[in-house]
Amino acid sequence: MAAGIGASLVALAASSAAVAQDQAEATEDESAFGTIVVTATKKANAQDVQSVPLAVTAFGAEQLADQHVRTLDNLGFSVPNVQLDDVGTAPGFANFSIRGLGINSSIPSIDPTVGVFVDGVYMGISAGILFDTFDLEGVEVLRGPQGLLFGRNVTGGAVVVRTSTPDTSGELKVEGRVALETGLNKIVSGVVSAPLIEDKLAAKIAVYYNDDDGWFTNQFNGNKDFGAAETLILRGALNFTPTDTVQIIGRYERGRVRGDGAVVSNFGLFRRESFGISVNDEGVTRNDWNQATLEVNIDTGFGNGKITNILAYRDFSGFVSSDIDSSPNFTFHADTLTRQDQWSNELRYAGSFGAFDVTTGVYYFTQNIDYIELRKLAGGALRISGGGKQDQKTLGVFASADWHLTDSLTLSGGLRYSWEDKAVQVQNLQGNLCDPVGTRTCSSYGFNDEESWQDPTFRVGAQWEPTADTLFYGFFARGFRSGGYNFRNGNPAEDPGPFDAEKQNSWEIGVKHDFGDLLRLNVAAFHNTIFGLQREIILPVLPLGTTQVIRNSADLRLQGIEAEAVLRIGEHLTINGQLGYTDAKYKKIFFDLTGDRVINARDFALKPPRLAPWTYGASLNFAHDTSGGAEVTARLGYAHRDAAWSNDNNTGLLSAGDMVDANLAIEAPSRQWKLSIYGQNLLNDQTEGNVSPLPFFAGSTFSSINKGRVLGAEVTFRY
């Protein structure tokens, strides 16, 4: 491990995304490192990442394509102090963690600590996040609390995803990709965009299809195609500019996934790193979603600013049947049905008044969640079910300002106030009262309640730019994560809630500096205190299999450091790397975390789930134009992530991961086609999304495992 850290420091730690470039924003005086732009500050115009006073890693469209990113979790080893994991029990359910703040749950009523935003729209639940994505303009990973501009549930950070927008002043564009990977996994996508009325109206149609035969072997029945899935995504967009100052963008997406249930191994039967699987129920996954967005941008002479309104709708339906005991015996199988729909609207203004830059707005969000779970135990002789319904409304108002005291010194501050109401019906896990397949509802709900919360978020900071190549910054921020209810309550002596919102105080200092055209180095240090931390204690209990209790259980201190940089060696070679360290310590504990009914040293010795203390990596990137005009590029990357606990009582351990990826590509002189040959996870390292102990036999665990080595080839063509 020390050698790996040393190698990362020599490589001067940064992600390969540090060279992300948005050609549309490039200028004649662009630095040798390219123009890296981010939109997450919600200014009137995108900003150069080096002038943004926060820790953010931006991936451009080309970087995402070169790394063959299919889903957001593919980026989980590319950013320091970040884990973008699937929970494992339900495919597509995100359990993201940044700087030690994450969740370990597939309960849709549990709000995340890392918010995901697609084209400016908050994804209301963690379900349906980790399906295939394509047609991307960029992805921004913001580390640290982002509540001032993004609201609740971003105490760990935010992942901002931008899809492409058709260009009204451009020409017909056709782009397609065809890829074949071991598995066998077939991927085809195409994007067609064109102006319909020059400088007024443009349209885009995008299609993505993935037919994955499955990578794993189920020893129970000899099936060598376990983990199969079929994904189809259709996306359309219109960009209408009726005047020079008005832009209207309409977007629509429909997605569908059909496949096997969770890919799981029981470590009581198989050793780690064996990819051993033997399940008598391969399960099913059925997910469908629709989302539509209407974005209006109006340039205004008032403060030379911009008014933006984003109205959005999304509905999601997910059914998953999985073999929870992960064994060839019918001991614990489960069916779950998650249905959600949401509406949101954000109206904001961003502009400048002399020495002041102002961003202000109002945000409204409403969603309905319906969750049903059926557990089939003891060969199906025992059926236990439960679930819940939630109606939720959220309103937020915010204002932020930057005061440029001098050309080099800026003070900043802002306040957001949020009101939230949640009304629920919950049926505790018991008897056969709920049916996710037939009636798709519960015959009764034994618990009815409603609770409201009002919480402020604020931030104050300063930034100093002594030269055009240097930025020092520091800030203090207060954030919160929503309170809520437990839809998977198995203890009749415990109410499903409400548990209260958790609060966070965060300090961060950082520096961003370019050493001429040779080296770009960004470093940040942080110290966070979380008050009233929501903890989900998972206990193995017969006959339920497992049960969860959720409470505001502790106060937690998190602190650490991270660095990103890119080193240019000549015209053709760059060395990128990234390094992160996070340390956690419980300061106070109010509710037993270990399940032994006492609070003692064992509780204080625990670590939060999904916190890998060390993350680091490096990559070599080569680019060269041949004498004939073709471009040859190559990339070799290595990344490490320490082991992390999967659950709050530290009884399930997620393996450390060492990822080695490689890519070799040649692009035609016309830039109309490109051939890539690549390998991912070349060390065939087994990593898990979830490891949860089960009470059925010694060492029994539910362990969802990820793919090992994948080899692939891809052809991209453009017109």
CB of 541 closer than 8 Å to CB of 484: no
pLDDT for position 606: 94
Say which residue the tokens 């530290």 belong to: 650
Characterize the bridge pairing of strands 114-118 and 157-163. Answer: parallel
> How far is the C-alpha of 125 from the C-alpha of 115, rounded, in Å?
9
Q: Residue 318, exposed/middle/buried by CB under 10 A (0-12, 13-18, 19+)?
A: buried
Buried b (16+ CB within 10 A) or exposed e, 146-181: bbbbbbbbbbbbbbbbbbbbbbbeeeebebbbebeb
Count CA within 13 A, CB hemisphere, residue 285: 25
Q: Which of 22, 297, 275 is nearest to 168 (CA)?
A: 297
> 627 is written with which tokens?
């004498």
Q: Is the pLDDT of residue 575 over 70?
A: yes
Report residue 615 as tokens.
């993350």
pLDDT by residue (tens digit) across 511-553? 999 999 999 999 999 999 999 999 887 776 667 666 788 899 9
pLDDT of residue 28: 36
Residue 6: pLDDT over 80: no
The residues, any chain, with a CB within 8 Å of residue 167's CB and separated by 6 or more, are 173, 193, 195, 202, 239
Phi, psi of 698 (to 5 degrees): -60, 125
Nearest to 354 by CA among 401, 286, 424: 401
Separation of alpha carbons 309 and 246, rounded Å? 12
Q: pLDDT value at position 22?
A: 36
DSSP notation for 155-215 = SSEEEEEEE----TTS--EEEEEEEEETTTEEEEEEEEEEEEETTTEEEEEEEEEEEE--S
Tell me what pLDDT residue 291 has.
Answer: 97
Q: Cα dihedral sign for 193, 196, 202, 205?
A: negative
Q: What integer pLDDT is reported at residue 38 of this predicted model?
A: 86
Residue that wins the pLDDT comparison between 241 and 16: 241
Is the predicted pLDDT of residue 482 greater than 60, yes or no? yes
What is the structure's pLDDT at 31? 63
Q: Among residues 507, 510, 509, which one has the least CA distance to residue 528?
A: 507
Single-letter amino acid code for the residue at 618 = A
Decide if 369 contacts 488 (C-beta within 8 A). no
What average pLDDT is seen over the chain?
91
What's the CA angle centered on 527, arms 521 and 529, to 5 degrees? 150
| Res 362 pLDDT > 50 | yes
∠ CA(52), CA(58), CA(63), 5° rounding?
A: 150
Q: Which residues on neighbouring strands pair with residue 429, listed in sequence order?
A: none
590: tokens are: 């109010």
pLDDT tens profile 34-74: 777 888 889 888 888 889 999 999 988 888 888 888 888 88
End-to-end alpha carbon distance in the chain: 47
User: Tokens 């104050």 map to which residue?
Assistant: 460
Domain boundaries, the chain: 2-417+430-718
Beta-carbon neighbour count of residue 439 at 10 Å? 10
Q: How far apart are CA 73 and CA 300, in angstroms?
A: 39
User: One-letter amino acid identity for 155?
Assistant: T
Residue 12 has a pLDDT of 36
pTM, two decimals, is 0.93
Contact 385, 376 (CB under 8 A): no
Give 26's contacts (C-beta < 8 A, 6+ positions apart): 34, 35
Identify whether the C-beta of residue 612 lies closer than 8 Å to the C-beta of residue 646: no
C-alpha neighbours within 13 Å on the C-beta side of residue 52: 21
**pLDDT tens for each residue of 283-311:** 999 999 999 999 999 999 999 999 999 99
Residue type (1 letter), 440: R
Whether 77 contacts 639, CB under 8 Å: yes
How far is the C-alpha of 66 from the C-alpha of 623, rounded, in Å? 12
Instruction: Supply φ then ψ for residue 25, to 5 degrees.
Output: -100, 0
Residues recorded for the chain: 719
**pLDDT over threshold 50, residue 8:** no
Q: Please write the tens of the pLDDT for every residue from 90-119.
A: 788 899 999 999 988 889 999 999 999 999
d(CA 374, CA 377): 10
Query: CA-to-CA distance for 102 and 88, rounded, in angstroms?
Result: 15
Digit-coded pLDDT (tens) for 148-178:
999 999 999 999 999 999 999 989 999 999 9
Percent of the chain with pLDDT over 70: 95
Instruction: Please state the φ and ψ torsions of residue 630, each to the nearest 5 degrees.
Output: -70, 150
- The residue type found at 443 is S
Q: How confident is the model at residue 697 (pLDDT cuts 50, 70, 90)?
A: confident
Number of C-alpha atoms within 13 angstroms, CB side, residue 156? 27
| pLDDT greater than 90 at residue 698 | no
Q: Which of 181-195, 414-428, 490-504, 659-673 has the lowest mean pLDDT?
A: 490-504
What distance in Å separates the CA atoms of residue 70 and residue 175, rounded to the nearest whole number? 17
H/E run at residue 398 = strand 382-404
Q: Tell me the per-residue pLDDT of 579-624, one tens digit each, with 9 for 90 and over.
A: 999 999 999 999 888 878 899 999 999 999 999 999 999 999 999 9
What does the pLDDT read at residue 542? Answer: 67
pLDDT of residue 73: 87
In eight-state DSSP terms, residue 10 is H
DSSP assigned state of 51 = G
Specify the CATH number for 2-417+430-718; select among 3.40.50.2300, 2.40.170.20, 1.20.120.160, 3.90.220.20: 2.40.170.20
Mean pLDDT of 226-241: 96
Q: What tokens appear for 272 in the block?
A: 């780690």
Q: Please tell me the predicted confidence (pLDDT) of residue 481.
A: 93
Radius of gyration of the chain (CA): 25
Q: Per-residue pLDDT for 87 more than 90?
A: no
Reported as a single tens digit per residue, the pLDDT across 197-223 is 999 999 999 999 999 999 999 999 999
Quote the CA–CA distance of 112 and 91 in Å, as a whole number.
17
According to the model, what pLDDT value does residue 30 have? 55
Encoded amino acid at 531, one letter: F
- Find, among 144, 157, 151, the residue nearest to 122 by Cα: 151
Q: Nearest-CA neighbor of 162 among 130, 131, 94, 116?
A: 116
The residue with tokens 């086609």 is 673
Q: Among 92, 180, 48, which Cα is nearest to 468's? A: 48
Residue with tokens 């967005």: 293
Sheet order of strands, 688-693 included = 264-265, 701-705, 688-693
Tokens 């040779």, located at residue: 518
pLDDT score for 57: 93
Report the C-alpha gap between 584 and 536 in whole angstroms: 17
493 three-class SS:
coil
Which phi and psi (to 5°) does residue 682 adopt? -65, -20
Q: Which of 43, 72, 45 has the alpha carbon at shortest distance from 57? A: 72
**Which of 412, 550, 526, 406 lies closest to 103 in space, CA to CA?**
550
Task: Output the DSSP codes for 499-536.
Answer: BPPEEEEEEEEEEEEEETTTEEEEEEEEEEEEEEEEEE
8 Å CB contact between 131 and 397 = no
